[in-house]
Amino acid sequence: MTSSPSSQENVVILHVTEDPDDVARSAQAGAALREWDQSLEVKIVVHGAALTAVVDSDNPIELAEGVAVQACEIGLQRRGLADKERLPGVESIESAVITIVEAQRRGASYIRL
């Protein structure tokens, strides 16, 4: 699960773990960051209890260009959500923790919400 060593200095990780409503709030924060600096790439990394937001079709997540939601597969499996359909635009990642550490090692900014 290694990735290329390319720089991620223009990447901002918004880490959401607890409140499912924080996923939508992070999407709004990501849109504001992109409006402020369009060279930024915003990744909303979701695991923990917040994962229910990525399978909740009653509350779609509106994503601005350059903003992505990434759901931890390990967490989805642990919560019995792995077989549920993800909302449009939600990407799967194997491990939130490893994804965050890899990005930070390459220079990404990190904000926990």
The domain spans of the chain are: 11-112
Residue 42 contacts residue 12 (beta carbons within 8 Å): yes
16 three-class SS: strand
pTM to 2 decimal places: 0.91
- Name which of 29, 34, 31, 5 is nearest 16 in CA terms: 29
The CATH homologous superfamily of the domain defined by 11-112: DsrEFH-like (3.40.1260.10)
The predicted structure's pLDDT at residue 5? 57
CA Rg value for the chain: 13
111 three-class SS: strand
The predicted structure's pLDDT at residue 56? 79
The predicted structure's pLDDT at residue 73? 97
